[in-house]
Structure 1
Amino acid sequence: MKKKIWIGIGVATLIILMVGVSVYRTAFAKPLAVEVMEVKREKISSSLMVPGTLELQEEQSIFPSPELGKVEEILVEVGQKVKKGDVLVRFDNTQLSLEIEQNKISVESGYLRINQLQKQKEHLDSRKKELTEQIGKKEAEQQLAPEYDQIETEKRLANLDLKQTLLQKEALEERIKDFELSSLVDGIVLTVNENMTELVTEVQEPLVQVGSLQNMIATGSLSEYDVLKVRTGQKVIVKSDVLPNEEWQGEIIDVANVPQSTGLGNPLENQAVQFPIIVQINGGIELKPGFQLIMEIETEEKEGLVISSEAIIYEDDKTFVYLVNDGIAHKQEIEIGITSGERMEVVEGLKAEDMIVLNPSDKVSDGMEVTVE
């Protein structure tokens, strides 16, 4: 009997002790310390993340051409700076070369003929001077007049022939340009393929590739849903995994009105429609053509209440934050609008200057007393 009494006393003592500890903790324990942020009205923009490829905006590739004939000479080398109009590749044309050589002979022959007639006239002038001393000026002129007329006529014909030959030369020089391909841009020679001068294959590589590294663009594609949110002039932030700490500014300069054709699959089947876009990159970029990019396109900008995503709690398809008011944490349901990275617009549930808990832990609960760090 006494044993049961002592057991009862022990249990009662333990219960009293536990209640006392609980009361002590309630009365004297410090409130949970939390980090908070103030809800502010700021500008916020929504964005699309689109993969892209870095390309040259101004680029020219010259390929072998059976119509132009065999490559005679590549006049540039990799890394060489070129200006618009500089000859890059010259093609060989046997018939044209023959005509050019014949024309050179004709021009030289024309000048020789004119020089010969000029010497004949000078010789006739010497005879005229001698005859003038012998028979007088008038008689000398009458006697030599037929020879002067003959020389003058031949000189006129020779000059006409030479003029025609020089016109042919100009025409041939214009035809030469048809067999010379020049640069269409101010830039630098990117590739030179000497192996392509003899061989023409089905899959051709360019003989010469020229481009301007100063003007770069990024190309990508948008779905039929996203393309409605995009227009020319919108701002774009360009990033690359190669240089993760760098970013470049740009803007959209072209959005296709028709989707790109993949040429694959059955046209009667539903296929993903993609609309090409082009982004002009402002300023220099340290990457090379062909590098893969991520383009963050700003699609909408507005002013609203903005909080950090670190304050958000998701439960049962609903969104909550802990609102701190007079040292008490209140669980508050909110409605989210547009997002930009870690910044989120609050459409409903909060007002400016409200204080909310950042990174709320599992220890935070509705109605709990908290202290702000």
Structure 2
Amino acid sequence: MKLKQSSKQSVRGYFKSTFAILILVSAAATGYFFYQTPPLEVSGVQVQRNDMAYIIRVTGEVINDRTVSLTALVNGRVEQVYVARGDLVNKDDTLAAMDNRASMTRLKRAKAVVQQETVRLKEQRQRYNRVSELSNRNLVSVEALDQVKFEMETAQAAVAIAHADAQMRVLEQDWQKLNAPFDAVIVDKWTESGQWVEAGTELFQLVAIEGWEIEANLDAVDTGRIHVGQLVNVTSDAFPDIGWQTKIHWIGPAIERTSARHLNTFPVRMGLGADAPKLLLGQQLDIEIVIEERGDVLRLPYSALREREPGHFEVALVEQGVIRLQPVESGLETDTHVEILSGVQEGQQVALFDSGYLENGRTARFAAKHDQD
């Protein structure tokens, strides 16, 4: 019985020794693997100071709300066209004239009717005066006086109708001509001499010479950053060596939704600018609105920061070959960079998060040639 118990103790000791050896071997293998794994090679940038500016960049277009289409006011034949596309015209200049022979005839007839009815009225007044005198002498009845009075008033109405008809014929004469409503440029012409047109047919499109401006649509998130009087920098591919400034003078009252791109935007308008070159209607321009500028600040590109939680960022410092994640406080943001208010110092090297998975304590080294901010 004692012999069996001794054998069991020997077996237990054997297994304990074997298990301890396995642990030591495993630890040795892990350590060997750890020290043999090469450090993660990362790209990095240096924290530097520079000027920063938050700039909104959009495309604008030359527009003018004073754009009108002139249409034929009457049916008829276009007798003469006096302008061509691109011509500058002054207010009340005649652009085209209709064949007015029929309207002239109607006007002459209306004037003749006025003359005829005026003569009849004169006769009725003379008759009324005679009958009235006789009535005062009790030589005619009251009914006879009332009758001539009625005939005189009818003649007066006939004269008024004739005058109104004559005025209508004068207006009809005006309708035979298409005149410019203001100083403008002819941007389209759809008629020629000899063409028969109906009332309502579009003949010309005009854009006023005064009132040209630039319109741009901005993202709705920038509504709080835009105000009337704000300076705007303008350039154009058509004038590569010219840049000029203007000011915002109007901000749209409502947000507009672009269904094609599912964007919420709002329009702003600005003058062409005193130094603007000769621009064309519909010409596209490059607009820059400087929202905020800061000088000599620490900054890093977006790829050097990781958002730990909304509004909180961290960077990956590489110190003595080991990654250390460092929280930082951010400030002004641009299209490419973020201002760093605290957490790092000028000259420190930080890894870019697109280099791989970066975590605290992981060994790492910068590539032989890493990026500079």
TM-score tier by shorter-chain length is 0.5 to 0.7
Q: Give me the whole-angstrom Cα distance separating, in 2, the residues matched to 1:233 and 1:42.
A: 23
Contact (CA 8 Å) 1:336, 1:347: kept in 2 or not? yes
Across the aligned residues of Structure 1 and Structure 2, the Cα RMSD in angstroms comes to: 5.3
Q: Give me the whole-angstrom Cα distance separating, in 1, the residues matched to 2:27 and 2:323.
A: 26
Q: Give me the whole-angstrom Cα distance separating, in 2, the residues matched to 1:301 and 1:61.
A: 43
Q: 2:333 is matched by which residue type in structure 1?
A: T
| Structure-2 residue corresponding to 1:219 | 216
| Structure-2 residue corresponding to 1:192 | 189
Contact (CA 8 Å) 2:214, 2:269: kept in 1 or not? no
Q: Give me the whole-angstrom Cα distance separating, in 1, the residues matched to 2:70 and 2:60.
A: 24
Q: Report how far residue 4 of structure 1 moved.
A: 7.6
Superposition pairs for residues 1-373 of structure 1, below 5 Å? 11-48=19-56, 54-56=61-63, 60-64=67-71, 66=73, 72-76=79-83, 80-83=85-88, 89-92=95-98, 94=100, 180-181=179-180, 184=183, 190-194=187-191, 198-201=197-200, 207-209=204-206, 217-220=214-217, 225-226=223-224, 228=226, 231-235=229-233, 251-256=245-250, 259=253, 276-278=268-270, 280=272, 289=282, 297-303=289-295, 304-317=297-310, 318-360=312-354, 363-373=357-367
Q: Identity percentage over the alignment?
A: 15
The verdict on how the C-alpha distance between 1:295 and 1:313 changes in structure 2, with shifts beyond 3 A counting, is same
Q: Report how far residue 353 of structure 1 moved.
A: 1.7
SS, match of residue 17 in structure 1: helix
| Structure-2 residue corresponding to 1:269 | none
Contact (CA 8 Å) 1:236, 1:250: kept in 2 or not? yes
SS, match of residue 363 in structure 1: coil
Q: Give me the whole-angstrom Cα distance separating, in 1, the residues matched to 2:181 and 2:197.
A: 20
How many pairs align? 271
Structure 1 runs not aligned, ≥5 long? 100-174, 240-245, 263-271
Q: Give me the whole-angstrom Cα distance separating, in 1, the residues matched to 2:345 and 2:189.
A: 64
SS, match of residue 43 in structure 2: strand
Contact (CA 8 Å) 2:228, 2:247: kept in 1 or not? no
Q: Report how far residue 279 of structure 1 moved.
A: 6.8
Q: Report how far residue 357 of structure 1 moved.
A: 1.0
Task: Give the TM-score normalised by structure 2.
Answer: 0.53
Q: Report how far residue 338 of structure 1 moved.
A: 1.8
Q: Give me the whole-angstrom Cα distance separating, in 1, the residues matched to 2:251 and 2:216.
A: 15
Task: Give the TM-score normalised by structure 1.
Answer: 0.53
Q: Report how far residue 194 of structure 1 moved.
A: 3.5
Structure 2 runs not aligned, ≥5 long? 1-7, 106-173, 257-263, 368-373
Q: 2:294 is matched by which residue type in structure 1?
A: K
SS, match of residue 254 in structure 1: strand
Q: Report how far residue 93 of structure 1 moved.
A: 8.1
SS, match of residue 307 in structure 1: strand
Q: Give me the whole-angstrom Cα distance separating, in 1, the residues matched to 2:265 and 2:358.
A: 47
SS, match of residue 256 in structure 1: strand
The verdict on how the C-alpha distance between 1:47 and 1:180 changes in structure 2, with shifts beyond 3 A counting, is same
The verdict on how the C-alpha distance between 1:309 and 1:236 changes in structure 2, with shifts beyond 3 A counting, is farther
Q: Report how far residue 311 of structure 1 moved.
A: 1.2
SS, match of residue 45 in structure 1: strand
Q: Give me the whole-angstrom Cα distance separating, in 2, the residues matched to 1:6 and 1:71.
A: 119
Q: Give me the whole-angstrom Cα distance separating, in 1, the residues matched to 2:14 and 2:203.
A: 102
Q: Give me the whole-angstrom Cα distance separating, in 1, the residues matched to 2:283 and 2:354.
A: 44
Q: 2:306 is matched by which residue type in structure 1?
A: I
The verdict on how the C-alpha distance between 1:220 and 1:32 changes in structure 2, with shifts beyond 3 A counting, is closer
Q: Give me the whole-angstrom Cα distance separating, in 1, the residues matched to 2:191 and 2:98.
A: 15
The verdict on how the C-alpha distance between 1:36 and 1:334 changes in structure 2, with shifts beyond 3 A counting, is same
Q: Report how far residue 341 of structure 1 moved.
A: 0.9
